[in-house]
Amino acid sequence: MSTQDVIKKTVYEMFAGGSDMQPGRIIFLLAASAVLGLYIFAVYKNQSKSAFYSKDLNVTIAGLPIIVCGMLLAMQGSLVVSLGMVGALSIVRFRNAVKSPLDLLYFFWSISIGIMCGVGLVVLALFVSVIMTALVVLLHLVPNAKTTSVVVLRSGKEVDWNAVRELLKRHGKNVKEKSRSRQGGQTEIIFELFTREEDALVSELEKMDNIEQIHFLSHDGEYRI
How many whole angstroms separate alpha carbon 78 and alpha carbon 56?
A: 33
Residue 19 sits in the same domain as residue 104: yes
Asked if 209 and 225 count as a contact pair (C-beta separation under 8 A), the reply is no
Residue 76 sits in the same domain as residue 95: yes
Asked if 52 and 103 count as a contact pair (C-beta separation under 8 A), the reply is yes
Residue 33 sits in the same domain as residue 82: yes
Residue 10 sits in the same domain as residue 101: yes
Handedness of CA 142, 42, 89, 72 (dihedral sign): positive
- H helices of the chain, in order, are 3-16, 23-47, 55-77, 79-90, 101-118, 122-141, 161-171, 198-207
Q: Judge whether 225 lies within some domain.
A: no
Residue 136 sits in the same domain as residue 188: no
Domain endpoint, select from 99, 116, 141 = 141
* Structural domains of the chain, count: 2
How many whole angstroms separate alpha carbon 58 and alpha carbon 148?
A: 34
**DSSP 8-class letter at 96:** P
Residue 166 sits in the same domain as residue 93: no
Residues 6+ apart with CB under 8 A from 126: 36
Residue 74 sits in the same domain as residue 95: yes
Q: Judge whether 114 lies within some domain.
A: yes
Q: Mean pLDDT in runs of 10 for the chain (225 residues)?
A: 56 50 84 92 83 79 88 70 56 63 86 88 92 89 72 80 81 80 81 79 78 75 48
Domain endpoint, select from 91, 123, 141 = 141
Give me the domain span that covers residue 119: 3-141
- From the list 44, 76, 72, the residue with the least C-alpha distance to 57 is 44
- pLDDT given at position 85: 59
pTM for the complete prediction? 0.60
Residues 6+ apart with CB under 8 A from 121: none
Residue 11 sits in the same domain as residue 106: yes
Asked if 159 and 215 count as a contact pair (C-beta separation under 8 A), the reply is no
How many whole angstroms separate alpha carbon 134 and alpha carbon 42?
A: 14
- pLDDT given at position 123: 92
CATH number at residue 201: 3.30.70.260
